[in-house]
Amino acid sequence: MFLSMNWIADFVDLTGLDRLDLIHRFSLSTAEVENEIFMKGSDLSGVVVAEIKSVEPHPDSKKLHLLKVDIGEENLVDVVCGAPNVRVGMKTAFAKVGATLGEITITPRPLAGFMSNGMCCSEKEIGISDDHSGIMDITDDVPNGTDIKDVYAIDDIVFEVDNKSLTNRPDLWGHYGIAREFAALAGRELKPLPTADLSAYDSLPKVDMKIEDPLCQRYSCLQVENISVSVSPVNMRIRLFYCGMRAINFLADLTNYLMLEMGQPMHAFDSRKVEKIRIKRFEKPFVFQTLDGVNRNIDKNTLMICNDNTPVAIAGIMGGLDSEIVDDTTTLTLESATFDAVSIRKSTVRLAHRTDASMRYEKCLDPEMTVPAIARFVELLTSVDSGVKVVSSLTDEYAYRYDKITLDFDKAFVDKYTGIEIDSDTILKTLKSLGFEAKKDGDNFTVGVPSWRATKDVTIKADIIEEITRIYGYDNFDIHTSRAPLYPVRPYEEKTVEDKIKDILVKRYSLHELHSYIWAYYDEYKALGIEVADNIKLINATNPNIETIRRSIVPTQLVQVRSNVGFAPEFGIFEIGRTVNGLKDDGLCDEHKKLCITLYSKTNSVETLYFRLRDMLCVLSSDIKHKELSFKATQPEYNYEHPRNLNEIYCDGVPLGKMGIVFPSVAKKIDKKAAIVFAEIDIADFAKIETAPIVYDEPSKFPGIDIDISFVSDIFAPIGDAIREAKCALIKNVQVIDTYSDETGKSITTRLTFSHPEKTLTRDEVMEIVNGIIEKLQKNGIALKQ
Amino acid sequence: MKEKLEAIRKKAEAELDSITSPEQIESFRVSVLGKKGELTSILKMMGKLSAEERPVMGQLANDVRSFIEEKITEKANEIKEKEMQREIDSMPLFDVSAPSDLSRGSYHPITLVQRECERIFKSMGFTVEDYSEVVTDYECFESLNIPKHHPARDMQDTYYLENGQLLKSQTSAAQNAIYKKYKDALINDGVPIKAIFPGRCFRNEATDACHENTFFQMEGVMVDKDISISNLIYFMKTMLSEVFQKDIKVRLRPGFFPFVEPGFELDISCLICGGEGCPSCKHSGWLELCPCGMIHPEVLKAGGIDPEEYTGYAFGLGLTRLAMMKYGIKDIRDLNSGSLKSLSQFTDDE
């Protein structure tokens, strides 16, 4: 929203104050002002009012005229002018020799064979409108030679406020409310708004009007006739233009002017079309043509202004084409109303049509404003057009009143909340300057919230703190730290575990951490032949490609691997991210935080890669939890999992996740020759596992004995189990030193290292234990390799 | 006999000259000084000498023996040294100027920035919390003083799920749970609530170089008796000076967020120009950085904390924005691109 300092200065005396500094303070205390501030008129000089004394056609040009103009000096000035609207006796804006208009400086110059000593200007050329159809037609009675800036308020400072920063301030959507802020910041009085006395018309008949829907909070109206002025005064047009609105005609301009001044949208109907004003909604949907000529679909939730049963306007948004003021309109009905803000906002969204009016209504306008707005309208109307007659009494139905809000607090509350000392007089003065009815009794304050702040904005004591502190100025705060007692801060285990995992994977295994999205990417999965696992969906995803939430990060990483195959012949990636495993019993999403690792290699075998991954997982477990992992073969659940070597990962008997190889067809789509393996574990489950304490085992001073035994077995697990079950404290280390395959099958050679803390072991002592293990395995059908 | 001894000495000297290996030395030593060696066999003949000759010859034989022994030791050392030199010379010279193999892992830039922030906050006694990404309407809106139909809900386009839950649109969604988790310690033991909660947030919007539907924020709260606006400003200034590792000027402007009152937009002096004005701050000297404010009484109430007794402040930091500022990342989409060309560049940075 653009704001004019001249307009603000109508309501607060800014004499002697630095206006740019005030704007800066407004930005820090009230609402964000955009960086660019417009110094209107600063690039215009030497333009005066001049009268055209004679008009001669140019001998060689149909468009050009030779003029003699009176610029209030002794001699008339010769000018060549191309404007179509030149006529003798017309007064216009004239740029004298030496005048500046933006970057142009006027000099005498020959034009089509004649000297031109200056320039007649259009309104656009002097920057007060976008009208360039002809030169400015000055109808006001002004002596020739008067500087145009002395006639019209061209010099102004215009600034823009970010609309977003006014969301919660319905009172700041017009200059008068903004002026109140400037008055408070400058410590000056806010002048009352000049209004007409509407009680003078109390004896006139009322308008036939009735609110038939609770969504209309208040409806005020008045009928006037005999409007003869059609073009708005220049100063009014300049203000509208500076604030970003085009001048249309006097009546339309005046409703816009009033909206920019008070923030109250107004509408004028042709009285012939609205004899019985009814405000209501319709059960059946219908099509309605608004005054911009667009047909709009109206449903049962949209509040309408009607002439009895005929809709004439969409309440708070836009009038209808049929009831608009036309050339032969004699009597018009002025509407000044407030409506339910949520309803207006929803209708705006539904109709996809946001207007200057609806933008304001959405903010919860003050219903107290409707009548003063009409009084102000009448005041402005009659001051410009003295022939106007008011033909009805003020007709006003006030259906919904906001509660009057009074807040009590004491000085200690302000001290506590601010943490600084703001004296009672400053508090009182600040609140009063913003229109609050503030009273003080000792250290207790009672504050009445003005109606324009009471629609939603100021409701609790903390809101009063904001009023006091923002005017006091946050830059003026003496800042200090809080004094809190000392308490230990306990780290969050899951977070600590995450950090350790990341460090191990990055630093020890050179993996790369990536981020991704929480949903499945249909297109990318499809390219790899991965089915999207059924899961809970987003209901409002703008892109259908992402509507299903993922159950696993593995497919995400396979997509990532595919897009990175050119990066290096071998790499590994990981992410700690979220997945959702359907719904829990309570109907809420079963969300999990998971670690997913995928390794890719063109240079190593799938076996090497698989064991590298397994060792990574084992290191994570042994490093972070000081515990071993175990693995159990499992069946594939998803079509990207290779049925062989798919293992569930356990720690302390708790299943953590699984590791496996990518299904051949999927792997081939990523890369024809590379090996790709993956693992995924649940972070919360892993974090919950108790960390085993480190118990110091003093190394024996006596020599140990190594025993190598070979068993015929495909896997090590039963051998390891048998060794573990022997529960022998003398076994210090177990290693697989060789595997061998022949016609009898695969054999595994295991080296057991024994040592005793206090003596040298004999071979016999050790063999007794080894034989126990051998016997146990033989019972389970695992033979010693001969 | 004397001649024989002299001959042995001369021969030994000559033979030693031609010896090049330790093995040759050993066989030479045996052939001369061994039990059956030349010198030994001569000494065996000593008994046949006269009583006068014996000590003279004995002396001479001993001289010859020590001479040869000395020569052998000398030769052995010489060979050892030569061997050592040969071993030294056999080591090739490496080209240390050749390009290094720098292959190493990488952290996601968000992890790096997040860790840095966490370190700062931990040093100031904050706990680091984590929260789910799928949350309820109550957590994300209701408990934050954003009732249904509140315009603030329009400000953020939220991803809703079939079961009525949603992907959290702001880290503030964790506030309520954190108040409930720590309120007993606050009320019963007077332990202030000081927590940060970094996390992933989601907005249903089209992506471009400046917009992402998935990004990271970090929220922080402090609640205690007598927490004031003055404390908030002090804290933000101190914290941000740590984050940016320079003395930062902060400026507060009124800002509207339903879960704080008063609410602020916090600007920091431009990091590039220090406040003079430059293209990066659009010549204003300030950068809008983070929203903050005093926690709204209704929000405290929803968390089970009496706003008459306790006050607090809350702030939100855009971790994604911080990472982009810190590393000069211009396109926000690079962060979730999964591209190793982009993301493998971020090594440990603490």
Final residue before a domain boundary, out of A398, A433, A453: A398
Instruction: Give yes or no: residues A68 and A22 share one domain.
Output: no
Helix (H) or strand (E) holding B315: strand B311-318
CB contact under 8 A, B122 and A489: yes
- pLDDT over 90 at A28, yes or no: yes
> Which tokens go with B75?
């030769």
Residues of A in contact with B149 (CB under 8 A): 342, 346
Instruction: Give yes or no: residues B333 and B198 share one domain.
Output: yes
CB contact under 8 A, A537 and B311: no
Q: Is B133 on the interface with A (CB under 8 A)?
A: yes
Instruction: Give yes or no: residues B227 and B84 share one domain.
Output: no
Give the CATH number for residue B124: 3.30.930.10
Instruction: Give yes or no: residues B65 and B155 share one domain.
Output: no
Domain-located, residue B101: no
Range from A445-449, A746-750, B171-175, B212-216 carrying the lowest mean pLDDT: A746-750
- pLDDT over 90 at B301, yes or no: yes
Final residue before a domain boundary, out of A371, A398, A425: A398
Higher pLDDT, B153 or A272: A272
Instruction: Give yes or no: residues A328 and A347 share one domain.
Output: yes
Closest-CA residue of chain A to B250:
A475
Instruction: Give yes or no: residues B121 and B59 share one domain.
Output: no
Can you tell me the distance from the alpha carbon of A661 to that of A642, in angstroms, rounded to the nearest whole number? 5
Instruction: Give yes or no: residues A66 and A130 share one domain.
Output: yes
Mean pLDDT of A555-564: 97
Residues of B in contact with A348 (CB under 8 A): none
For residue B122, the Cα-to-chain-centroid distance in whole angstroms is: 18
**Domain membership of residue A419 as a residue range:** 406-476
Domain-located, residue A26: yes
Domain-located, residue B199: yes
CA distance B86 to chain A (A): 37
CA distances from A297 to A216, A315, A563 (A): 20, 14, 47
Residue A324: how many CB atoms within 10 A of its CB?
18
**Domain membership of residue B81 as a residue range:** 2-88
Domain-located, residue B197: yes
Instruction: Give yes or no: residues A672 and A538 share one domain.
Output: yes
CB contact under 8 A, B154 and A583: no
pLDDT tens-digit readout, A187-205: 999 999 999 999 999 999 9
Domain-located, residue B96: no
Instruction: Give yes or no: residues A281 and A364 share one domain.
Output: yes
Residues of A in contact with B344 (CB under 8 A): 512, 567
Q: What pLDDT does residue A490 have?
A: 80
Instruction: Give yes or no: residues A164 and A298 share one domain.
Output: no
CB contact under 8 A, A416 and B226: yes
Which SS3 state, helix, strand or coil, does residue A656 take?
strand
Final residue before a domain boundary, out of A656, A688, A720: A688
- pLDDT over 80 at A612, yes or no: yes
Mean pLDDT of B40-65: 82
Instruction: Give yes or no: residues A327 and A229 share one domain.
Output: yes
Can you tell me the distance from the alpha carbon of B233 to that of B236, in angstroms, rounded to the nearest whole number? 5
Instruction: Give yes or no: residues B24 and B143 share one domain.
Output: no
Query: What is the band of A329 on the pLDDT scale with cuts at 50, 70, 90?
Result: confident
Query: What is the band of B154 on the pLDDT scale with cuts at 50, 70, 90?
Result: low
Instruction: Give yes or no: residues A529 and A645 share one domain.
Output: yes
Domain-located, residue A786: no
CA distance A2 to chain B (A): 19
Domain-located, residue B34: yes
Domain-located, residue A616: yes
Instruction: Give yes or no: residues B121 and B236 share one domain.
Output: yes
Kindly provide the b/e burial profile for residues A250-288, where b requires at least 16 CB atoms within 10 angstroms of the residue's own CB: bbbbbbbbbbbbbbbbbbbbbbebbeebbbbbbeeeeeb
Mean pLDDT of A309-338: 92
Q: List the single residue in A417, A510, A539 with the smallest CB-CB distance to B105.
A: A510
Instruction: Give yes or no: residues B63 and B128 share one domain.
Output: no
Mark which residues 147-186 of B lie under 8 Å from A by CB: 149, 151, 154, 159-163, 165, 167
Can you tell me the distance from the alpha carbon of A680 to that of B252, in angstroms, rounded to the nearest whole number? 45
Give the CATH number for residue A712: 3.30.70.380
Domain-located, residue B23: yes
Mean pLDDT of A352-360: 95
Instruction: Give yes or no: residues B310 and B196 share one domain.
Output: yes
Mean pLDDT of B107-120: 94
Higher pLDDT, B47 or B333: B333
What is the number of domains present in chain B? Answer: 2
Range from A9-13, A108-112, A446-450 carrying the lowest mean pLDDT: A108-112
- pLDDT over 60 at B123, yes or no: yes
Q: What pLDDT does residue B156 have?
A: 58
Final residue before a domain boundary, out of B88, B122, B156: B88
Instruction: Give yes or no: residues B205 and B309 share one domain.
Output: yes
Query: What is the band of A740 on the pLDDT scale with cuts at 50, 70, 90?
Result: confident
Can you tell me the distance from the alpha carbon of B100 to that of A488, in angstroms, rounded to the nearest whole number? 45
What percentage of chain A reaches a pLDDT higher than 70?
A: 100
CA distance B341 to chain A (A): 7
CA distance B196 to chain A (A): 12
pLDDT tens-digit readout, A671-700: 999 999 999 999 999 999 999 999 888 888
Instruction: Give yes or no: residues B264 and B294 share one domain.
Output: yes
CB contact under 8 A, A35 and B136: no
Instruction: Give yes or no: residues A334 and A452 share one domain.
Output: no
What is the number of domains present in chain A? Answer: 6
Closest-CA residue of chain A to B215:
A517
Mean pLDDT of A15-34: 95
What is the sign of the dihedral through the CA atoms of B154, B160, B162 and B163?
Answer: negative
pTM higher than the cut 0.80: yes
Domain-located, residue A651: yes
Domain-located, residue B349: no
Mutation for testing the A interface, residue in B123, B133, B202, B248 having most A CBs under 10 Å: B133
Q: What pLDDT does residue B55 have?
A: 84
Instruction: Give yes or no: residues A209 and A303 share one domain.
Output: yes
CB contact under 8 A, B106 and A475: no
CB contact under 8 A, B282 and A587: no
Q: What pLDDT does residue B274 have?
A: 82
Q: What pLDDT does residue B244 have?
A: 87
Mean pLDDT of A1-18: 97
Q: Is B255 on the interface with A (CB under 8 A)?
A: yes
Instruction: Give yes or no: residues A295 and A393 share one domain.
Output: yes
Q: What pLDDT does residue A326 have?
A: 83
Query: What is the band of B291 on the pLDDT scale with cuts at 50, 70, 90?
Result: very high
Residue positions counted in chain A: 786
Query: What is the band of B152 on the pLDDT scale with cuts at 50, 70, 90?
Result: low
Mean pLDDT of B24-52: 83
Mean pLDDT of A484-504: 88
Q: What pLDDT does residue A325 have?
A: 85
Instruction: Give yes or no: residues B9 and B81 share one domain.
Output: yes
CA distances from A27 to A20, A167, B256 (A): 11, 15, 14
Domain-located, residue A487: no
Instruction: Give yes or no: residues B66 and B149 share one domain.
Output: no
Residues of B in contact with A492 (CB under 8 A): 127-130
Mean pLDDT of A4-8: 98
CB contact under 8 A, B238 and A481: yes
Instruction: Give yes or no: residues A133 and A164 share one domain.
Output: no
Domain-located, residue A485: no
Q: What pLDDT does residue B155 have?
A: 55
Domain-located, residue B59: yes
